[in-house]
């Protein structure tokens, strides 16, 4: 794996690149803060979803997997948490949680 500098580019763009482009220190710091904020928000969404659907505490995985709704040509809901009881989803157009 070879590190690229900020101004260096690939001649061709592969589907998955193993080359890393290092961020400037300011951008790296901001990305770290954003990552932490997103992770915290997703954990909060999973907690609300579990509580709303009365899912028992236990083994679970926090997710954010949009579900495509062909009839709306958009992402209407998102899988938020996966448990042994099933997956908890949030439909943001309806403002409702459901078990899938």
Q: Which H or E run contains 32? A: helix 25-52
Residue 16's pLDDT band (cuts 50, 70, 90): confident
Rounded Cα distance between 8 and 80, Å, is: 37
Exposed e or buried b for every residue in 55-71, given b needs 16+ CB within 10 A?
Answer: beeeebebbeeeeeeee
Q: Is the pTM of this model over 0.85?
A: no
Domain-wise residue ranges, the chain:
17-99
Does 75 have pLDDT greater than 80? no
pLDDT tens per residue, range 17-54: 688 999 999 999 999 999 999 999 999 999 999 999 99
């Amino acid at each position: 794996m070879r590190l690229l500098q900020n101004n260096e580019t690939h001649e061709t763009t592969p589907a998955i690149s193993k080359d890393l482009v290092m961020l400037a220190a300011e951008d790296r710091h901001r990305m770290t803060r954003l990552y932490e904020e997103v992770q915290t928000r997703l954990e909060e969404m999973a907690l609300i979803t579990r509580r709303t659907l009365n899912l028992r505490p236990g083994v679970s995985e926090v997710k954010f997997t949009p579900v495509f709704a062909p009839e709306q040509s958009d992402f209407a809901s998102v899988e938020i948490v996966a448990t042994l009881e099933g997956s908890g989803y949030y439909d943001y157009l309806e403002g409702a949680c459901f078990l899938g």
